[in-house]
Structure 1
Amino acid sequence: MKDVVYVDLKYRIDDINFIINKDVIIKLNEYKQKYYSDPESGGLLLGRTDIHGNTKIIDITVPLEGDIQSRFRFLRKSNKHKDILAEAKKRCLYFKGNWHTHPINIPNPSWVDIMSWRKTLKNCKPGESRYAFFIIIGIAEIRVWSGDINTKEIKEAKLI
């Protein structure tokens, strides 16, 4: 069997790039819901934004004890995500958004996802980044949406 080679994934939103580090891709792929018994998973996106607005995801949080997982639902309930975020800041990594899985090949956001993303945008403070990012991991594809922190508009990012 041939080894899988992972590379950074690069997306375009307006005039900026959004990059998911290859090591993060490897981690995200571990949580794909390939089998009926696999629960939905999720966590935080941790990364950096350069002076041009380009954002790179360097790390993520993963499901932790206290989170709620089922076939079609993930709720981040563990306070440990906040502790990990505080530690990440010491490495100059900051909250950039959320990720979760869906048990289908090509994922689309549900109404619950959109409402959750709007809540995230409402709680984001304008400053370092213009966008918050939302990743859904499907079985065959990873899709990315961006939310403009100022206008609250959400749109899909294009893989480049």
Structure 2
Amino acid sequence: MKCRTFFSPDMSTYILLTESTLKYMYAFAQRKWNQTEAGGEIYSTTPYSPSLVIDGVAGPHRKDRRTRHSCNPDVEATTKARHNEFARGRHAVGLWHTHPEPIPSPSGQDRRTTEEYLKSFGDDRDRYLSIIIGNRGEVPEMTVWSMEKSGEWQRWAEFDGQTVELHTHLS
């Protein structure tokens, strides 16, 4: 397994998802008909940098309400996880969840939820990310989106073959 890197549409910002973060999220891919959606928040120690390293992930939580096509988080557990990550120097920069489809795309509810999270940060964030894990491939298909402060919804592009070079640059 390797890290994965995604660039914003204008190529000015990228995120690098660490192997441990990816492995954790992949474990919840909905590969069988009876698996429920899972999700949570993603974290970075550099929330204002144009090069975000996503090295923390939380969720799902035991009391989340989960079905095949939805995941409603346990607010208390989510808040506790966010405070624990903040105590470790990590800031919430987005959400992650699974979809029971090969190439995942956001639903209207996914967009509204991401926008609500961004608004809750006030002027503290320019964007909030949404990572969706699909169910196709040994390494699951994955899409990355962002809700921008301007109200624009953007899809980020994966850059294959760049991860080693970028990872070295970040070290």
TM-score by length of 1: 0.89
Segments of 5+ residues of structure 2 without an aligned counterpart are 160-171
The one-letter code matched in structure 1 to 2:122 is K
| 1:12 paired residue among 7, 15, 29 | 7
Q: Which has the higher helix share?
A: 2
Q: Does 1:31 align with 2:33?
A: no
Structure 1 counterpart of 2:3, which letter? D
Deviation digits for residues 117-157 of structure 1 (CA, Å, limit 9, x no counterpart): 22122212333x43211001001211000122x31211000
- 1:83 correspondence with 2:80: yes
Please, which runs of 5 or more residues in structure 1 have no aligned partner? 1-5
| 8 Å contact kept, 2:7–2:14 | yes
Give the whole-Å Cα distance in 2 for the aligned partners of 1:125 and 1:119. 10
8 Å CA contact 2:131, 2:142 repeated in 1: yes
User: Which segments of structure 1 move beyond 4 Å, counting only runs of 4 or more?
Assistant: none
Verify: 1:132 aligned to 2:131, yes or no.
Answer: no
Task: Tell me whether 1:118 sits opposite 2:115 in the alignment.
Answer: yes
1:104 aligns with 2:94: no
- State the distance in 2 between where 1:101 and 1:52 align: 26
Taking the aligned partners of 2:48 and 2:113, their CA distance within structure 1 comes to 28
Distance between the aligned counterparts of 1:99 and 1:51, measured in 2? 19
Counting aligned pairs with the same residue, the percent is: 22
SS of residue matched to 1:115? helix
Deviation at 1:49, TM superposition (A): 2.2
> C-alpha displacement at 1:56, in angstroms?
1.3
**Number of residues of Structure 1 aligned to a counterpart in Structure 2:** 153
Structure 1 position 99, deviation (Å): 0.7
Shift in Å, 1:52 = 4.1
Q: Does 1:142 align with 2:137?
A: no
Equivalent residue letter for 1:112: Q
Cross-structure match for 1:158: 157
Q: Give the C-alpha shift of residue 44 in structure 1.
A: 0.6
Q: Which amino acid aligns with 2:5?
A: K
Whether the aligned pair in 1 keeps the contact of 2:47 and 2:93 (CA below 8 Å) is no
> Which residue identity is paired with 1:8?
C
Check the 8 A contact 1:121/1:152 in 2, yes or no: no
Deviation string 1:46-73 (CA, Å, 9 cap, x unpaired) is: 1122664221111111211221001111
Cα shift at 1:33:
0.2
Q: Deviation of residue 97 (structure 1)?
A: 0.8
**Could you tell me how far 1:115 is from its partner in structure 2?**
1.6
TM-score (norm 2): 0.83
Instruction: Report if the CA contact (8 A) 1:53-1:130 is conserved.
Output: no
